[in-house]
Amino acid sequence: MLWKGNHLFCNVPLPKADDRPLIVSHPGAHMNYLASWNVMVEHGEPFVLVCDDLGPAYPDGWWAQHSKDGMEYFARLQNPQGVGQAYRNPDLSFQNLLVHRGLDANKGMEDFPLIDIMYVDFIEIFLKYNGEVDWRPTFMAAAPKMVEKVRDGGVLIIDRKNVHEDYDQWLEFPQGEFEVSPGITLEHVGKGEWLILDMPLNGGGRDEIHAEVFRVSNSNPPGNPDDFLATLMKERRLAPKDLEGFKGTLPTRWPGHPTLDDYTERLFNHYDHPDAFDRPDYPEPLESSWKSEKYDEWLQWLINHPESLRPIERNERIMQMGSTTVRLVHGTILAHLDWLQTKDASLVVRDALRESCLAENLFLGKNAANLQPFMRWKKPIRHMRWSGPDATPNLTRELLKLSKSNVMATISHGIATLEELEAALTDYDGEVEELVIFHLDEEDYR
Ligand SMILES: C[S@@+](CC[C@H](N)C(=O)[O-])C[C@H]1O[C@@H](n2cnc3c(N)ncnc32)[C@H](O)[C@@H]1O
C-alpha cells in the first residue's frame, strides 16, 4: 500500500527489470534483512538482495530464529566470489537470492554496477561523526552516498523501524524533486506500508513495515549488471554446455547442513526411543535450494542468453594417453573450481592448496584426497616430494590411486613432461578416466 498525502494506492511503485533480477541493496541490515526480503517477495519480481553488514545475521547462524513454522526457509548456496554467503527460497515462483557480505557497506557499494532498490533502515552507516557535540545524522548528509549507485528510475526506501524521536532528522528532506549530488535527484513519492505475509519478522512483534519511498533520477551511466551477477551465482560463470549437464539435477545442499534424510532419521529415532534420542533441534531441512523444474527452466534461460554468462576461459590442451584423457590447463586451479565441481572432480593436491580450493568451493571437499594428514602414519604417500628430479618416483600413479572419482584434478608435479605422463598412463587401467593437470609454467608438459 502507498499513502500519497491522504490518498491510498494499492501498490508501492517499485521498479522492474528486463532479462535480469532486480538488484536490491540493504546495508547494515542485520536481522532486518527479513523486512527488505518481505518487500521483495511481495513485489513478486525476480531479485537478488545483497546485505552488507560488518557483522551479518546469517539465516543459518541461529536456526530457530530464521525458520518459518519449524521449516527451513533459506537454503544455503555456494558462496559468492570474494566475500559472503548466499541463500535462496525454493518455494517462490520467481528468481530470488539473498546474499550476506561481512564488510563495510561503503566499501561494498563499490561492487554494485547499479542498484534498482536501495533499502535503508540506518542512515548513520553513510555518515562520519565529525566530533561536534550536537552532531546530528541527517538525511541530506547521507543521501549522496546512499543513492550513489541507484539507477535512473530506481527507488530508495527508508524503513522507519529505527526512526523515533531522536532520529526525526533522518527524514528531513525538501518537497518536490531535489538534487542530492551531481546528476542525481530524489522525489518523495509517499509512505509505503507492507503487511508481513511470507517470512515473519524477528523481534519487536512487528508484522508491518512502514517506510518512506523516493523515486531516483540519475543521469550517471550504470555499470554492467551481468558482471556483478556472475560474481554471485556460480551458474552464471559457466559455459552453456556445462549448464546443459546440470539439467535434471538439483543443487546439492550446503556441505555440513543436515539433509532432509538426516532429519527424518533423527526424528524417527526420537519417536522410537525418546529417552535415547532428542528431537532434532533445527528446522526441517529443505530438499534443495531449487525445485527441479524451476532450476531446469532457469538453466535453459541462461543457456538461451549466453550474453549474460561470464564463463571462465580455459587455455587447455587435450590428449589421449592409454585409456586416460589428459587435459592440460595453463592457469591456476583456483580460477576453475566451479568447472571442476561440474565434473565431480577429485582434488588431489597438497594441503595448502587444498585448503585454498576448499575455502573457495567447499563442495569439492567431498571428493578431495588428503595427501598430508596430521598423523604421519596415515600419510598415503610416504616421504612425498612433489616436484623436480628428486620427486617421488611414479608420483602420477600414486596420485591416481587416491582419486575419489573418475576425474582427477591436480597441478604440475614430478618433472612435468609429457614423457613422464605417458610412462605413467600408457598401461594404466585404474578408475580415473580423465586427468586434469593445471600448470602455471608455460613450458610444463611441452
Ligand atoms: C543499529 S543496527 C541496525 C540493525 C538493523 N538494520 C535493524 O534495524 O534492526 C546497525 C547495523 O549496522 C551495521 N553497521 C554499522 N556500520 C556499518 C558499516 N559501515 N557497514 C556495514 N554495516 C554497518 C552494524 O553491524 C549493525 O548490524
Residue 317 has what DSSP assignment? E
Is pLDDT above 90 for 207? no
Ligand 1, residue 29: give the atom nearest the CA. Answer: 6
Closest by Cα among 419, 414, 417, 411 to 436: 411
H or E, element range at 117: strand 115-120
pLDDT at position 199? 79
Average pLDDT, the chain: 93
- Which residue's CA is minimally distant from atom 9 of ligand 1? 32
Q: How many helices (H) and strands (E) does the chain have?
A: 11, 19
Regarding the beta carbon of 394 and ligand 1, being less than 6 Å apart is answered no
pLDDT at position 430? 94
* Greater pLDDT, 46 or 280: 46
Regarding the beta carbon of 159 and ligand 1, being less than 6 Å apart is answered no
Regarding the beta carbon of 121 and ligand 1, being less than 6 Å apart is answered yes
Q: How far is CA 49 from the centre of its chain?
A: 11
Query: How many whole angstroms from 291 Cα to the centroid of ligand 1?
Result: 33
Closest by Cα among 358, 352, 390, 387 to 371: 352
Rounded to the nearest 5 percent, the helix, strand and coil shares of the chain are 30, 25, 45
60: which residues sit within 8 A by CB, 6+ positions away?
66, 74, 76, 85, 87, 254, 257
What is the rounded CA–CA span in Å between residue 126 and residue 398? 56
Tell me the CA distances in angstroms from 437 to 110, 327, 337, 424, 441, one per residue in order: 36, 6, 13, 14, 12
Q: Model confidence at 230, in pLDDT bands (50, 70, 90)?
A: very high
Give residue 328's identity as a one-letter amino acid code: L
Q: Model confidence at 137, in pLDDT bands (50, 70, 90)?
A: confident
pLDDT at position 204? 59
What is the rounded CA–CA span in Å between residue 146 and residue 132? 22
Query: How many whole angstroms from 299 Cα to the centroid of ligand 1?
Result: 35
- Which residue's CA is minimally distant from atom 26 of ligand 1? 28
pTM for this model (two decimals) = 0.92
Q: Model confidence at 136, in pLDDT bands (50, 70, 90)?
A: confident
Q: Model confidence at 126, in pLDDT bands (50, 70, 90)?
A: very high
Ramachandran assignment for 410, one of left (phi > 0), alpha (psi -120 to 50 degrees), beta (any other): beta
CB 119 within 8 A of CB 159: yes
Enumerate the β-bridge partners of residue 411: 438
pLDDT at position 203? 61
341: which residues sit within 8 A by CB, 6+ positions away?
234, 361, 363, 364
- Domains located in the chain, CATH noted: 2-226 (3.40.50), 231-308 (no CATH), 315-439 (no CATH)
- Which residue's CA is minimally distant from atom 24 of ligand 1? 28
